[in-house]
């Protein structure tokens, strides 16, 4: 956060207007769900992205703050989190099995 404030990235991002200077692509139009520049109100700039990674991250967060998530995005997020939780559990089980085998020796 300090870097965003110190280098003016946060100020730069907060000066931009949602759905005028930047916005999120419509569902299914792009693979990446990150903020993209707009040419005018509700006119996105085709095949264009923000070059600075911090600007891209902050504007993406602001875009989701203003626009919210669709039901499909919420469902996809929960499905992904549930899959990650299962893999973490499997990883913990396999680690505990390895540790038990090492203790037996």
Q: What is the pLDDT of residues 36-75, one digit of tens each?
A: 999 988 888 888 899 999 999 999 999 999 999 889 889 9
Nearest of 13, 17, 64 to residue 40 by alpha carbon: 17
Q: What span, in angstroms and rounded, lies between the C-alpha atoms of 72 and 83?
A: 16
Nearest Cα neighbor of 60 from 52, 75, 92 is 52
The conformational region for residue 17 under phi > 0 = left, psi -120 to 50 = alpha, else beta, is beta
- Cα 14 to chain centroid distance, Å, stands at 18
Lowest pLDDT segment from 18-22, 24-28, 81-85, 101-105: 101-105
Give me the residue spans of the domains in the chain: 1-68, 69-105
Give the global pTM: 0.72
């Amino acid at each position: 956060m300090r870097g965003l404030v110190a280098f003016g990235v946060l100020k730069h991002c907060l000066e931009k207007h949602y759905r005028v200077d930047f916005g999120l692509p419509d569902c299914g139009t792009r693979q990446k769900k990150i903020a993209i520049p707009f040419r005018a109100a509700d006119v996105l700039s085709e095949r264009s992205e923000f070059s600075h990674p911090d600007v891209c991250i902050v504007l993406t967060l602001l875009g989701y703050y203003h626009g919210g998530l669709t039901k499909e995005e919420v469902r996809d997020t929960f499905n992904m989190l549930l899959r990650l939780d299962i893999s973490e559990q499997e990883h913990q089980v396999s680690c505990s099995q390895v540790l038990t085998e090492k203790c037996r020796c």
